[in-house]
A and B are shown apart, each in its own frame.
Chain A
Amino acid sequence: MSDLTNVNPDAEKLEGMEHTKQYDFRLPETYFYRSEKGLNRRVIEKVSYFKEEPEWMLAFRLKALEIAEKKGPPRWGPDLSGLNFDDIYFYIRPNERKGTVDDWEEIPEEVRETYRRLGVPEAEQRVLAGVGAQYESEMVYHKLKEEWERKGVIFLDTDTGLKKYPELFKEYFSTVIPPEDNYFAAVNSAVWSGGSFVYVPEGVEVEVPLQAYFLLNAQSIGQFERTLIIGAPGSKFHYIEGCTAPAYNTDSFHSGVIEIIVQDNANVRYSTIQNWSHNVYNLVTQRALVHAGASMGWLDGNLGSKVTMKYPSCYLVGERAHGEVLSIAFAGDGQHQDAGSKMIHAAPHTTSSVVSKSISKGTGRSSYRGLVQIYEGADFARSNVECDALLLDEVARTDTYPYIEIDEKTAHVGHEATVSKLDDEQIFYLMSRGLAEDEAMALIVRGFLDPVAKELPLEYAVELNRLIELEMEGSVG
């Protein structure tokens, strides 16, 4: 039931591969093309050349590069000094083939095996409407079940989306997150490759999730997927993203941009439980534009990576639009999870809700960084933010940076924050009932996360619990 979203660290299942402690695969690095290290004009031109893109896209990329160079990395938030662009390969093309295939058999055996062991093809059969799989810089597999194709649903890798639906693509691409938005969005705009392109037509309800799975195998790689999701009026669907990477001594860099347009009365959910290995900088921009009567829900689980900066946002631009963020972060030794949300109320009667739960252990550090902004004229907007932090020991650290800007008298905004420490009395109590110390700690943590976990479909909740238990291993001192 479990292995749907993420890494499967059951080492014995991965016999014959080079094992690492927790991240369970590491294939030989083979590729058709690898860019020089670093980010420059040559690299971008090469990416564009390989993709045989329209000219406007190359122009867009080069402009974005200029913007990135002008902006420079953010001077706030977590320490990014270990991230050196000159050590990163910004584009790795795994094979010569252009575009994706829709048959796992056509994927090189070793790569296919990794996805198989992660349970992706099996989940595709059972519980998903469509699956995309990205390996290094390119999507290698993409398939939508016929049933949904017939109803006009589009689910493609973003490069193919640009080719097959140039008008639709151009109409929405970069409209939610322009390169000017932030440094990492600019970098992504310059070198983006892969990601998913999703369009669900008016009134269509996709009852089972669409999923994309991102795999990094190479050392010192940067992955810059670009996802564009459009929910036409009255549509309803759930998109899930999973990701994994082997642990190396050198750092890798993942910086996706996810743009979602939720049109009138549509209902879109986007869930991700990232479990990157602890050498990945995970700096992602996710934003949804939510129109009248529509609803957008982000579920954001941050368990892996070295540094995460991720603030899923909803721009509530239509009357009665609703935005929601459920966020879970686990910062183990050496990790910094800087996560949060942005809720921008720009229309009357818009509502938003944020629930953030973070856990810090050892030298791990978690921060909640959130913005609630209510513009003048957004009459009777309501927003509620709740962030709870749990510290597993004396050294762990948590911070909250809430920003609230209200320009409308009728607004109703609530913010609640709690910090608790793993309580010796609770542990003793649970142990006195027969639970071992590590089980007792895991149970307290599970209970702490329960309000969010119970919003997840069962198999994802199971997976989340399993990942948390893995992260908790070795917590008993």
Chain B
Amino acid sequence: MSDRTLEIRNLHARIPGGEAILRGVDLVVPRGEVHALMGPNGSGKSTLAKIIAGDPSYEITDGEILLEGEDVLSLEPDERARAGLYLAFQYPVEVPGVSIANFLRLALNARLPEGEEVGVMDFYRKLQAAVTALDWDESILERNLHEGFSGGEKKRSEILQLLVLEPRYAILDETDSGLDIDALKVVAKGVNAARGPAFGCLLITHYQRLLNYIIPDRVHVMIDGRVITEGEKELAMELDQKGYDWVREQVGA
């Protein structure tokens, strides 16, 4: 099943010198599907997301991350991105003086062979499509990356970038947190626009709310650094009603 999947195998990780945060994560996201990863605070969901993207502040003590069969653990974050991975950050940083349009042009060019550049018309079409999908105004593209953005705008920008960069696999780290219902709908619309046979997605969330708008193909539950159970979309609903202690009891964790 390695051909068209993002697969996490027995992943163990920690902050160097610290306690283990991930204690043997197993997870498979096939391309063409959207999976939800749920779990209580501190269960290791965001750590997993950052480790997949290559955050150098963690130490991997065991396991593999296989992008369509290829272990990416030895790759730098930029190499992983160019191989087709994307992380929508929970807390996107601000980069003053760098416009979104300029940044995206550089990011697209980085995916092309040295010396080649994305065509002006092609680039403009991509940006337009993404802006439209997110009910946004084009003027946003000239604003500096997240400078003075509200929390909701930052999240929307993460999805905008996803739509323009067209990764094979995206991890959305609590993209729903801090969003009001209108913003949530817009973000969901963007993610749904990206859905298709060539796109795999892992949605990390605390709440079932987002999953009303982005219907997952599968739900995984993470507790204490491990995926302890998984199921159909109904599992999310049940979790919402009964809480994580209920899952703990179910699986005897």
Chain A interfacial positions (CB closer than 8 Å to B): 423-426, 428-437, 439-440, 443-444, 446-451
Contact, CB under 8 Å: B97 / A449: yes
Find out whether the CB atom of A434 lies under 8 angstroms from the CB atom of B95.
Answer: no
**CB neighbours of B225 from chain A (8 A):** none
Q: Give B residues with C-beta under 8 Å from A.
A: 53-57, 76-78, 80-82, 86-87, 89, 92-93, 95-98, 103, 106-107, 110-111, 144-145, 161, 165
Q: How far is the CA of A446 from the CA of B55 in the complex (A)?
A: 23
Task: Please indicate which of the listed interface residues A430, A439, A451 has the most CB atoms of chain B within 10 Å of its own CB.
Answer: A430
Which of B78, B87, B98, B107 sits near A447, CB closer than 8 Å?
A: B98
> CA separation between A386 and B97, bound complex, in Å?
16
Within 8 Å by CB of A439, from B53, B54, B92, B110, lies B110
Q: Are A447 and B144 in contact, with the CB atoms below 8 A?
A: yes
Which residue, of B86, B103, B110, has the highest number of chain A Cβ atoms within 10 A? B110
A274 to B92: give the CA distance in the assembly, Å.
36
Query: CA of A48 to CA of B163 in the docked complex: distance in angstroms?
Result: 70
Give the distance to chain B from A357, nearest Cβ to Cβ, in Å. 10
| Residues of chain A with a CB closer than 8 A to B80's CB | 432
Give 27 A-B contacts (CB < 8 Å), ordered by A residue. A423-B93, A426-B93, A428-B53, A428-B55, A429-B92, A429-B93, A429-B95, A431-B54, A431-B81, A432-B77, A433-B81, A433-B103, A433-B110, A433-B165, A434-B81, A434-B107, A436-B76, A436-B78, A436-B110, A440-B78, A444-B95, A444-B98, A446-B97, A447-B95, A447-B144, A450-B97, A450-B98
Closest 3 CB pairs of A and B: A447-B97, A450-B97, A447-B98
Kindly list 17 other residue pairs between chains A and B, CB separation below 8 angstroms, not including A424-B57, A434-B111, A435-B78: A423-B93, A426-B93, A428-B56, A429-B89, A429-B92, A430-B103, A432-B89, A433-B78, A433-B107, A434-B110, A439-B106, A446-B97, A447-B95, A447-B98, A447-B144, A449-B97, A450-B97
| Interface hub of B53, B55, B97, B98 (most chain A Cβ within 10 A) | B97
A-B contact count (CB 8 A): 78
Given contacts A434-B81, A434-B107, contact A443 B95 (CB under 8 A): yes
Chain A residue at minimum C-beta to C-beta distance from B145: A447
Interface pair A437/B56, CB less than 8 Å apart: no
A425–B57 Cα gap in the complex (Å)? Answer: 10
Determine the main DSSP class of A at the interface with B: helix
Q: How far is the CA of A446 from the CA of B77 in the complex (A)?
A: 21
Question: Pick the contact of B77 from A423, A428, A444 — CB < 8 Å?
Answer: A428
Q: Residue B97 contacts which of A423, A432, A434, A451 (CB distance < 8 angstroms)? A: A451
Neighbouring A residues of B96 by C-beta, 8 Å = 447-448, 450
Q: Is the CB of B95 within 8 A of A430?
A: yes
Given A447-B95, A447-B97, A432-B165 contact (CB < 8 Å): no
Q: Given A428-B56, A446-B98, A450-B98, A435–B106 Cβ distance below 8 Å?
A: yes
For the complex, give the distance between the alpha carbons of A424 and B55 in Å.
10
CB pair A443–B110 under 8 Å, yes or no, is no
* Chain B residues positioned under 8 Å from A431 (CB to CB): 54, 76-78, 81
Task: Check B165 against A434 for contact (C-beta < 8 Å).
Answer: yes
The answer to whether B103 touches A432, judged by C-beta atoms less than 8 angstroms apart, is no
A450 to B97, CA, bound (A): 5
Which of B76, B81, B89, B98 makes the CB contact (< 8 A) with A443? B98
Query: Whole-angstrom distance from the CB of B189 to the nearest CB of chain A?
Result: 22
With A448-B96, A450-B97, A450-B98 known as contacts, the answer to whether A432 contacts B54 (CB < 8 A) is yes
In the complex, A434 Cα to B103 Cα: how many Å? Answer: 11
Nearest CB of chain B from residue A49's CB, rounded to whole Å: 53
Q: Which residues of A contact B53 (CB under 8 A)?
A: 428, 432
Shortest Cβ distance from residue A437 to the other chain B in the assembled complex, whole angstroms: 7
Chain B residues lying within 8 Å of A426, measured Cβ to Cβ, are 93, 95
Of the candidates A434, A443, A449, the one whose C-beta lies within 8 Å of that of B82 is A434
Contacts of A443 in B (CB 8 A): 95, 98, 103, 106
C-alpha spacing A212/B242, complex, angstroms: 77
Residues of A within 8 A of B56 (CB): 424, 428
